[in-house]
Amino acid sequence: MPYYGKYKTPSELVSDENLSKDEKIEMLEHWREDEKALKRATEEGMHGGVRPELKLVQKALEELRNGPS
């Protein structure tokens, strides 16, 4: 179940009531890995024009797993 194309932000994904908590976590984990790859590519000088949102994805994952801080 891909996150891309449907959700513009991690918080938009988290607020989707049609998904279970486990589905949200799985999708955010995939999103996090994609963001890490984008960050590595940017650090290597490959710019795709997309701003990495790694911190936002990690925050959303933490809130789902541990509850809001």
Give pLDDT, residue 32: 92
Report whether 30 contacts 2 (CB < 8 A): yes
Which residue segment(s) compose the domain that 42 sits in? 10-66
What is residue 38's predicted lDDT score, i.e. its pLDDT?
A: 83
Rounded CA-CA distance 55/61 in Å is 10
> What pLDDT score was predicted for residue 42?
79
Answer whether 14's CB lies under 8 Å from 24's CB.
Answer: yes
**Count of domains observed in the chain:** 1
- Each residue's pLDDT tens digit in the chain (69 positions)? 566 678 989 999 999 999 999 999 999 999 999 888 888 887 788 766 556 688 999 999 999 999 865
Q: Would you say residue 54 lies in a domain?
A: yes
Q: How far apart are CA 53 and CA 50, in angstroms?
A: 9
54, HSE (Cβ side, Cα atoms, 13 Å):
10
In a domain, 43, yes or no: yes
Looking at residue 19, its pLDDT comes to 94
